[in-house]
Amino acid sequence: EIGIFVYISMFFGWGMGLASNPQYMVRILAAKDKKTAKHMILHALIFLCVLYFALTQIGLGLRILFPQLKNYCSADDVFIYAVVNLMNTPFSGFFLISVIGACVSTANSQLHLIGCMLSYDVTAQITKKKMSEEQILILARVFIFIGGTAALILSVNPPEDMLSFGADIWGLFSAALAPLIYGGLYWKRRTKAGAVGAFFTGLICSVLFWKMDLRIYWAFPATLCAAAVYVVIPMFEKKRGAEE
């Protein structure tokens, strides 16, 4: 059984991990100024907390009202099953279309991010010869095709527990990227060395803590370790500069 502390600390999986999604960084960079970016992040966190709290309550309510659900479907499919079989209203189709629309929107953002980052931010930066816009566009299409094909192959044989799998993926994002994103926006003493150290600390701690038998969700201590490195390294740099 999963303890209450695991449920609470899983916020650093679905919560902070989702809020550290690279596709959201594109929105942050597109903000007209720093103030707008800060407000956007805070409002997004509030919105996500409210939304996921509502979804949690709906899921718990369905388990109480329809205890037989666990005999017909897994936790991943409970909402779809409830809409199709338990909500015989004219709005059932609307709910299903909403789910499909959300999936298409997310896939569109992720594939767009894959194409842009791997073509412009990675390939175009490491090649010695300057690439034209047409070449970058072709590369972006190739990477989008590769990413979409990989996702399609994964969907043919998905993990047994998609919710836990998703939480682990977002937990990795939380440990590796959350300190960088929010520290970069809200901490004035940030440094490049601290960001690099925090990133690799998050990755290493994620690998170390992932399979450990902890009483809390593994992404929580991994994110704390990365945040600590993000803060400590600039302090050492400042101390070294003062001594010199």
Mean pLDDT of 155-167: 77
Q: Is the pLDDT of residue 130 over 90?
A: no
Among 40-44, 63-67, 83-87, where is mean pLDDT lowest?
A: 83-87
| pLDDT of 198 | 92
**SS3 label, residue 38:** helix
Gyration radius from the chain CA atoms: 21
Q: Is the pLDDT of residue 212 over 60?
A: yes
d(CA 215, CA 218): 9
**Residues 119, 139 contacting (CB under 8 angstroms):** yes
Q: Is the pLDDT of residue 193 over 70?
A: yes
Among 49-63, 76-90, 154-168, where is mean pLDDT lowest?
A: 76-90
Better-scored residue on pLDDT, 17 or 226:
226
d(CA 42, CA 54): 19
| pLDDT of 216 | 85
Q: What is the dihedral of CA 137, 139, 141, 145, to 10 degrees?
A: -170
User: pTM for the complete prediction?
Assistant: 0.69
Q: Is the pLDDT of residue 201 over 90?
A: yes
| pLDDT of 242 | 64
| pLDDT of 65 | 80
pLDDT tens digits, 88-117 = 777 777 877 887 888 888 888 888 888 888
Mean pLDDT of 53-79: 75
User: Average per-residue pLDDT in the chain?
Assistant: 81
